[in-house]
């Protein structure tokens, strides 16, 4: 038991580097996913059939094919086909971003649709341009509704980052498994790894709760400090069709 933890401490620089890879993949992947969510989500609300169709096709494609296959395709299949090679970390960021962007676009679409109809009409009556209507009236209200679902997706994205180990990026999982191989303490190693992910997930949840509170305050809603510690993994994210 103590053998594992003393080796873990000895290897601290590697562990820190592994943690850094995991965090980078999570945060950069999430940022890419966020951008794509808005692009695809807003496109899904377009009046033009072509724009809607493109968004639907992209979303169904990335939700329908498994993330695992997308990641492996980028890492193994793309280089011989195109001559381009991405670093493992970048493969991860792109695959996570595309996959969760597709799921996130449903969140954006749903949240925009759930803003009461009267808000659109009021903005129209005030003669706001479509882009100001979206930015000043619709999105600030929809944003509050999006955050809990985005939190769920973020945790799910974090939970996918151990896949990086399979495409030889030295993430947290890789590093801790190396320590396990050295010490032979399998159970301790995996429990430590699970605990590490649990702590990361909870930390991300707290951050997202802060963000939600700030967004609510802007709308004049205050929820008090208690809601900050609520674990968001408790809600389900099935948004129409596939989960």
Partner 1 sequence: MNGFDWNAAGEALPLLLEGFRVTLLATVLGTLVAAVLGLAIAVAGRAPSKLVTVPVKAVMEFVRATPLLVQLVGAAAVFSSVEPLTIGIVVLGVHYATYTSEVYRAGIDGVPKGQWEAARALSLPVRRTWQAVILPQAVRNVLPALGNYAISMFKETPFLAVITVQEMVFEARKYGSEHFAYTEAFTLAGLVFLVASYPTSLLMRKLEKRLGH
Instruction: Compute the C-alpha angle 150/117/212, nearest 5°.
Output: 25
Radius of gyration of the chain (CA): 21
Residues that contact partner 1, how many (by CB under 8 A): 51
Contact between 83 and partner 1 by CB under 8 A: the answer reads yes
Contact between 1 and partner 1 by CB under 8 A: the answer reads no
Q: What is the DSSP letter of 162?
A: G
User: To the nearest 5 percent, what fractions of the chain are helix, strand and coil?
Assistant: 85, 0, 15
Pick the binder of partner 1 from 202, 206, 215, 230 (CB under 8 A). 202
Rounded distance between C-alpha atoms, residue 111 and residue 147, angstroms: 10
Rounded distance between C-alpha atoms, residue 136 and residue 190, angstroms: 48
Contact between 241 and partner 1 by CB under 8 A: the answer reads yes
Residue 187 or 219 with smaller CB distance to partner 1 = 187
Rounded distance between C-alpha atoms, residue 52 and residue 110, angstroms: 14
Residue 87 or 242 with smaller CB distance to partner 1 = 242
Region 160-179 residues binding partner 1, contact defined as CB under 8 A: 160-163, 165-166, 173, 177
Contact between 68 and partner 1 by CB under 8 A: the answer reads yes
Which residues in this chain contact partner 1 in the complex, by CB under 8 A? 60-61, 63-70, 72-73, 76-78, 80-83, 155, 158-163, 165-166, 173, 177, 180, 186-187, 190-191, 193-194, 197-198, 201-202, 231, 233-236, 238, 240-243
């Amino acid at each position: 038991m103590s053998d594992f933890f003393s080796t873990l401490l000895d290897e601290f620089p590697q562990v820190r580097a592994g943690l850094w890879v995991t965090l980078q993949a999570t945060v950069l992947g999430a940022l890419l996913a966020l951008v794509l969510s808005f692009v695809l989500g807003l496109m899904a609300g377009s009046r033009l059939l072509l724009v809607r169709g493109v968004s639907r096709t992209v979303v169904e494609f990335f939700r329908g094919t498994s993330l695992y296959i997308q990641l492996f395709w980028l890492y193994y299949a793309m280089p011989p086909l195109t001559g381009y090679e991405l670093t493992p970390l970048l493969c991860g960021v792109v695959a996570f971003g595309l996959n969760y962007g597709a799921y996130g676009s449903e969140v954006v679409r749903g949240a925009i649709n759930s803003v009461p109809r009267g808000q659109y009409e009021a903005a129209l009556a005030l003669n706001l341009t479509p882009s100001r209507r979206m930015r000043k009236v619709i999105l600030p209200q929809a944003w509050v509704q999006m955050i809990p679902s985005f939190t769920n997706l973020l945790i799910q994205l974090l939970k996918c980052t151990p896949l990086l180990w399979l495409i030889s990026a030295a993430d947290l999982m890789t590093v801790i498994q190396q320590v396990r191989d050295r010490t032979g303490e399998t159970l301790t190693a995996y429990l430590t790894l699970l605990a590490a992910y649990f702590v990361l997930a909870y930390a991300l949840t707290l951050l997202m709760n802060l963000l939600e509170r700030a967004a609510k305050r802007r709308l004049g809603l205050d929820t008090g400090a208690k809601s900050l510690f609520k674990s968001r993994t408790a809600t389900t994210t099935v948004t129409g069709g596939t989960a």
